[in-house]
Amino acid sequence: MAGGGVTERYVWSADGTRVGVLSQGSGPGLVLVQGAMGTAADYSELAECLGSHFTVHSLDRRGRGMSARAYDTGHTVARDVEDVDAVLAATGARQVFGLSSGAIIALEAVKTLHRVTRAAVSEPPFYADGISHHGIRQLNADIAEGDLAAALVRSLLVAETAPAPVRVLPFPLARLLARAVLWADNHKPGRSARLTDLLPGIRYDFNVVGGMDGKMATFASLDKPILLLSGTDSPEFLRRSIRTLEGVLPQARHLEFEGLNHSGPWNRSRGGRPAIVAAALQNFC
């Protein structure tokens, strides 16, 4: 038991990866898939809000938290979909929600898995001109060399989510700022996972996102109901992306929330507003 009515369990994916899952609540099954730099614990408030309507299953994606696995350079979104499928098979859940890179995984799952009947996604990062694959290679090199401060800066720049100071500072100065951020995070009480623990796993996220360059149109064949969520405080490229995706999907409904940012589904301590997201999911699922 993980405490507070939350059950910790493990399932095994098709390639033998052990995937950790936190389950709580009662009702139809709903699987939550997190984005980069997060674990299942970052969905704890969303899961609590949903628990009176659903049995919520929050999985730790491979390479983080309960699902430790060394990075595989040949990783593709298909492996993440297999992880989700293992959770679906073990729990009987039929609905999926995903944030950011997790939203891409959720879309691919609802497209390819017969078990999934519908999905809700929050701001999947499709890049109109493609993500920087050169930047991804530099990021991977930073992590391989153990330079996590450089990796933190690079990840924000490549993802196009860097705050203004990081965008305008010369890289060496931005790296010094990132070192201070990592030091402060390592000394912050109550964190479920440290940035230094999560950064190596971000390579999985960029593999997923980079592997979907130019493939948004493949979701035009998706004939199941999809809820699209976004916020007015998110980067403009994400807001454009989700509007484009709405035009691609045959059965899509789009909700944009005033004041919500890219962290909207996460816990309030991470800038989220989980109650708003939970209400939208309850009305859709």
Confidence of residue 285 (pLDDT cuts 50, 70, 90): confident
How far apart CA 31 and CA 22 sit, in angstroms, is: 10
How far apart CA 93 and CA 115 sit, in angstroms, is: 8
According to the model, what pLDDT value does residue 189 have? 80
34 burial (CB, 10 Å; 0-12 / 13-18 / 19+) is: buried
According to DSSP, the β-strands at 18-25 and 55-59 are antiparallel
Compute the average pLDDT of residues 74-88. 96
CB-CB neighbours of 202 under 10 Å: 27
How far apart CA 231 and CA 93 sit, in angstroms, is: 27
31: Cα within 13 Å, side-chain hemisphere: 35
pLDDT higher than 90, residue 154? yes
Give the pLDDT confidence of 164-206 residue by residue, as tens digits: 889 999 999 999 999 999 999 998 886 668 999 999 999 999 9
Compute the average pLDDT of residues 148-161. 96
Residues in the chain: 285
Compute the average pLDDT of residues 13-35. 96
How far apart CA 53 and CA 251 sit, in angstroms, is: 23
Task: Report the chain's mean pLDDT, rounded to a whole number.
Answer: 94
Give the pLDDT confidence of 97-123 residue by residue, as tens digits: 999 999 999 999 999 999 999 999 999
Compute the average pLDDT of residues 209-232. 95
pLDDT higher than 80, residue 28? yes
Compute the average pLDDT of residues 3-29. 93
CB-CB neighbours of 82 under 10 Å: 18
Q: Taking the C-alpha atoms of 159, 121, 12 and 218 in order, what is their torsion angle to the nearest 10 degrees?
A: -80
Q: Which residues pair with 59 in a beta bridge?
A: 21, 33
Q: How far is CA 146 from CA 2, 141, 196, 277, in A?
A: 32, 9, 10, 36
- Whole-model pTM: value is 0.95
Compute the average pLDDT of residues 36-45. 94
Pick the CATH number of 7-129+214-284 from 3.40.50.1100, 3.40.50.1820, 3.40.50.410, 3.30.70.360: 3.40.50.1820
Give the pLDDT confidence of 82-101 residue by residue, as tens digits: 999 999 999 999 999 999 99
- What's the one-letter identity of residue 9? R
- Coil vs helix vs strand at 124: coil
Compute the average pLDDT of residues 47-53. 96
Candidates 132, 72, 93; CA nearest to 9 is 93
- Coil vs helix vs strand at 6: strand
How far apart CA 282 and CA 255 sit, in angstroms, is: 13
How far apart CA 10 and CA 59 sit, in angstroms, is: 9
| Domain spans, the chain | 7-129+214-284, 133-206
Confidence of residue 1 (pLDDT cuts 50, 70, 90): very low
pLDDT higher than 60, residue 136? yes
According to the model, what pLDDT value does residue 4 have? 59
Q: How far is CA 139 from CA 26, 157, 158, 180, in A?
A: 41, 10, 9, 19
Q: How far is CA 45 from CA 55, 120, 245, 268, in A?
A: 14, 17, 28, 8
